Chain A
Amino acid sequence: MDGIHDVGGMQGFGHVLPLDAGPPFAQPWEGTAFALGLLAIRAAGANLHAFRHAIERVPPGEYLRGYYNRWLIGAQILLEDSGIVSAGQVSARAARLRGAAAGEPAPPEPHKPQMASGGAGNLRAIDRPRAFSVGDRVRVRDLHPAGHCRAPRYVRRRAGLVAAQGPGHVFPDSAAHFLGEDPQYVYSVEFDSRELWGPDAEPFSLTIDLFEPYLEPAT
């Protein structure tokens, strides 16, 4: 989806933050949020890709309130999607924790997704030939997916060179929606900065890992 998460190349966010050396969790609730995110994947019967997509669906205003805030709301979205909690329950519980004598709605009916797993992790052996070789010139397709996709906007319709062949992976675009693992090859594709940002761009190269279905031969 073309959401707030896809920030590569956007302007207006200002100066980078200082290179702080603070603790991993600035406040205790951030540690709880971190653990809840990982545990929500399990409790919801979901997977890492569905969790990323849940975070992408956090509305932009909340998304920009900070990392562990969006992580936490993403966890709640995953749990709502599987019928483990409802938004009404969370609001009512929050009110009760603040001292309100509010009643709470009954929990929803769980309806966890069912998707066969090909094993632990996300790397998979694929038994078919690769479409592209190192040195091939490829173009990122003009994708406009409604769902999860790992091709950011700033590389779509741009051409680059295959710099390395990566491993076969569970396809995030499919797994995030519990449509199956549909493993796909990944390629490290290198772009010249001027291809991405025009003739006045700083000189540098940008390498990004792209799944085979995102790519087509460039002419």
Chain B
Amino acid sequence: MTTATSHLDPALRAEALASLLAERGLIDQATVDSFIKAYEQSVGPMNGAKVVARAWTDPQYRARLLADGTTAIAELGFKGAQGEKIVVLENTPRLHHVVVCTLCSCYPWPVLGLPPSWYKDPSYRSRVVREPRQVLAEFGLVLGDDVQIKVFDSSSEVRYMVLPLRPPGTERLTEEELAALVTRDSMVGVAQVSGP
């Protein structure tokens, strides 16, 4: 049985582990920094927003995206860790999808980056599979009774991303302007996209 568990301040534990591994050449600071920088700067929901905006403006792309999300997303250059297979779930006026990982915090990194605090918290993970309508309302998304809810629990290496509804009044916006409207939360399914 491990004894890894004696309580330590996590910042101190991180520093202690990093120094033990570094002095044996098992990690180097440049690699640590490159991982941090990648997810702080290059990989995040701005990637998924481009996918959504393309799907809203290009019907052929939308069809490809819904048929094979991984390949269509890779067309825009997004792939990598936690994106081996990405399935895109299309919201409609009568059907709303919401995604969770109850067992850990699986999340489609290439399109959404690292998961936010609320997604990783046991409150969301425990409740959205049991009372999704109530959870969505707590987040501020009140769905009509005529909207069917489908919850997806990510428990294999398949990752899910929601294609949200295009808001009304955005017919004249460019793809770039549309991408700026698309939020991380709408691509997990806990919010809708608002118009400009």
Q: How far is the CA of A79 from the CA of B26 in the complex (A)?
A: 11
Q: Interface size of B by Cβ–Cβ distance < 8 Å?
A: 74
**Is there contact, CB below 8 Å, between B14 and A207?**
no
**Is there contact, CB below 8 Å, between B4 and A32?**
no
Encode contact with A along B112-144: 1 for CB under 8 Å, 0 otherwise: 011011101111111101111111001110000
Q: How many A-B residue pairs have CB under 8 A?
A: 253
**Is there contact, CB below 8 Å, between B156 and A150?**
yes
**Is there contact, CB below 8 Å, between B12 and A94?**
yes
Residues of B close to A13: CB separation below 8 A: 121-123, 126-127
Chain B residue with the shortest CB-CB distance to A75: B17
Q: How far is the CA of A177 from the CA of B78 in the complex (A)?
A: 31
Q: Interface size of A by Cβ–Cβ distance < 8 Å?
A: 92
Encode contact with B along A51-63: 1 for CB under 8 Å, 0 otherwise: 0100101110010
Residues of A close to B191: CB separation below 8 A: 19
A116-171 at interface with B (beta carbon < 8 Å): 121-123, 150-152, 154, 166-167, 169
**Is there contact, CB below 8 Å, between B21 and A36?**
yes
Q: B103's contact among A33, A91, A107, A150, by CB below 8 Å, is which?
A: A150
**Is there contact, CB below 8 Å, between A91 and B6?**
yes
**Is there contact, CB below 8 Å, between B102 and A152?**
yes
**Is there contact, CB below 8 Å, between A211 and B31?**
no
Q: A10's contact among B21, B105, B122, by CB below 8 Å, is which?
A: B122
Q: How far is the CA of A88 from the CA of B5 in the complex (A)?
A: 11
Chain B residue with the shortest CB-CB distance to A4: B122
**Interface membership of B190, Cβ < 8 A:** yes
Residues of B close to A58: CB separation below 8 A: 4-5
**Interface membership of A176, Cβ < 8 A:** no
With known contacts A43-B26, A85-B17, A208–B153 Cβ distance under 8 A: yes
A interface SS class:
mixed
**Interface membership of B157, Cβ < 8 A:** yes
Q: How far is the CA of A91 from the CA of B114 in the complex (A)?
A: 29
Closest Cβ of chain B to A68, distance in Å, is 7
Q: How far is the CA of A201 from the CA of B127 in the complex (A)?
A: 12
Closest Cβ of chain A to B123, distance in Å, is 4
Chain A residue with the shortest CB-CB distance to B136: A16
Residues of B close to A23: CB separation below 8 A: 40
Q: How far is the CA of A211 from the CA of B4 in the complex (A)?
A: 31
Residues of A close to B2: CB separation below 8 A: 57, 77, 80-81, 87
Q: A72's contact among B14, B129, B148, by CB below 8 Å, is which?
A: B14
Q: How far is the CA of A11 from the CA of B123 in the complex (A)?
A: 8
Residues of B close to A27: CB separation below 8 A: 11
Q: A205's contact among B13, B44, B116, B151, by CB below 8 Å, is which?
A: B151
**Interface membership of B19, Cβ < 8 A:** yes
**A-B CB contact pairs (8 Å), 20 listed:** A5-B104, A8-B125, A9-B102, A16-B139, A20-B116, A31-B35, A31-B40, A32-B15, A35-B27, A36-B17, A68-B10, A87-B2, A90-B8, A94-B15, A97-B12, A197-B130, A202-B149, A206-B129, A206-B153, A209-B155
Q: Which residues of A contact B (CB under 8 A)?
A: 5-11, 13-29, 31-36, 38-40, 43, 52, 55, 57-59, 62, 64-69, 72-73, 75-77, 79-81, 84-85, 87-91, 93-94, 97-98, 107, 121-123, 150-152, 154, 166-167, 169, 186, 188, 190, 196-197, 201-211
Given contacts A23-B40, A35-B27, A38-B35, list 11 more A-B pairs with CB under 8 A: A14-B123, A16-B127, A19-B116, A40-B21, A59-B5, A73-B4, A76-B4, A85-B20, A88-B3, A154-B129, A186-B156
Query: Would you list the 9 A-B pairs with minimal beta carbon distance, nearest first?
Result: A8-B102, A209-B156, A29-B11, A87-B3, A31-B36, A17-B118, A35-B35, A93-B16, A204-B149
